[in-house]
Structure 1
Amino acid sequence: MFIQYSKTKLVLLLALSTSTSPLALCAQDSNAKDIIDARQKAFSDIESQTKVVKKILNGNETDWSNLLEASNQLVASSDALKGAFVSGTQVGSKARESVWGKPEKFNRLLQQMEEGYQQVALGAQKQSTVEIEKGLKAAESTCKSCHRSYRSRW
């Protein structure tokens, strides 16, 4: 009986220590969900801060302080997306499989989006509405292109 108990205990310990154990899979799923949630939050922040920037630009007087704050948030949120599409985070994602299967174009578009938002921030620092509008146009164009190619509608 003691030998049987030891073998069972050993099998259980081995099962718990491998990456394919149910507990490890739960931890991986939880981590993947956290990553998906974080990148969805970054995209939501980008959408809301883009609206803030546009609203400030369309106002009677430009609030450069708030514009700079919003543009810096855009840069931070777009930067947070680097490396946010790691393998294993496909399930439960709104992104198409091609994000992981052929990431070169996707990563290039993310970089272009970030560069557009960096131009927005630079324009806010210089208090140049022309530069801000150019950066917004570049970033939003990239967003639309990326959504058409890489985002699932369901």
Structure 2
Amino acid sequence: MNTTKLAGNFLLPISLLIFSLTAFSCSADLEDKVVGNWQGYDFLFQKTEGPDIVVTINGGLEQHLRSKLILSDNGTFQKLVGEYDNGKGTWVVEEDKLITTNENGEKLIYTLLKVTDKELMTLHEVDLKTPDGTLKGKIILSYTR
């Protein structure tokens, strides 16, 4: 079964439903809710363009399941994969967006799909250069406390 294709069939309706349920929260409330230590537990990739590279997608899933996202109340973040540092910098919530800026000044914008006391779900776009061409798509990352 092609899980990437299956994910694509359900991603947009689910995303819109989840977003509509969480969009009523204001940024300050969201900012307070996202602070904490989050453990990756699910990963969904929807390819929009490029080669079929199952190894890359499966590698992203494996990496995310071993990842931690630490959002501190002082506006800093750290990403860990296992015990290894996978980036740090600053973060801010603006409307329904979690915006991270790493130490090199690179920004990554995540749309907050779901934020509760126990669950964080984000959506972001990816553009990955590979030897077989550029892979583009959207990734939903799910975290739990």
TM superposition score category, shorter chain reference: 0.3 to 0.5
User: Which structure's relative contact order is higher, taking Cα pairs within 8 Å and 6+ residues apart?
Assistant: 2
Could you say which structure has the larger radius of gyration? 1
Tell me the TM-score normalised to structure 1 length: 0.31
User: Higher strand share goes to which structure?
Assistant: 2
User: Higher helix share goes to which structure?
Assistant: 1
